[in-house]
Amino acid sequence: MAASLQEIQHRIESTKSTRQITSAMQMVSTAKLSKIQRSGNGYRVYAQRLSDVVAHLAAANISNVKGTLLDKRDVKKVGFLVITSDRGLVGGYNSTLIKAVMSELEARNLSKDDVVILAVGGNGADFFKKRGFNVAYEYRGVSDVPDFMEVRDIVRMVTSMYDNEVYDELVIAYQHFASRISNEIEMEQILPVDTTKLNADSNEMSAEYDMNPSPEKILETVLPQYAQSLVYGAILDAKTAEHSASVNSMSSASDNAKDVIDSLELHYNRARQAAITTEITEITGGMAALE
For 38-56, the pLDDT digits (tens) are 888 778 888 888 888 787 7
Closest CA relative to residue 236, chosen from 192, 168, 173, 177: 177
Taking CA atoms, 77 is separated from 166, 183, 248, 267, in Å, by: 7, 29, 37, 60
Higher pLDDT, 76 or 195: 76
Q: Is the pLDDT of residue 202 over 50?
A: no
Contact 248, 181 (CB under 8 A): yes
Higher pLDDT, 190 or 65: 190
Higher pLDDT, 273 or 124: 124
**pLDDT on residue 122:** 94
Contact 173, 101 (CB under 8 A): yes
Q: Is the pLDDT of residue 92 over 50?
A: yes
Higher pLDDT, 137 or 49: 137
Q: Is the pLDDT of residue 203 over 50?
A: no
Which residues, at least 6 apart from 85, have a Cβ–Cβ distance to it below 8 Å?
93, 94, 121, 122, 123, 242
Distance from the Cα of residue 94 to its chain's centroid: 7
Q: Is the pLDDT of residue 224 over 90?
A: no
pLDDT-derived band at 72 (thresholds 50, 70, 90) equals confident
pLDDT-derived band at 129 (thresholds 50, 70, 90) equals very high
Q: Is the pLDDT of residue 66 over 80?
A: no
- Please state which of the four CATH numbers 3.40.50.300, 3.90.870.10, 3.40.1380.10, 3.40.47.10 is assigned to the domain occupying 28-248: 3.40.1380.10
Mean pLDDT check: name the lowest of 7-21, 47-61, 165-179, 183-197: 47-61
Mean pLDDT check: name the lowest of 16-20, 63-67, 113-117, 145-149: 63-67
Looking at residue 67, the DSSP 8-state letter turns out to be S
For 138-177, the pLDDT digits (tens) are 999 999 988 888 888 888 888 889 988 999 999 999 999 9
Start-to-end CA span in the chain (Å) = 29
Closest CA relative to residue 78, chosen from 147, 171, 153: 171
CA distance 247 to 222: 37
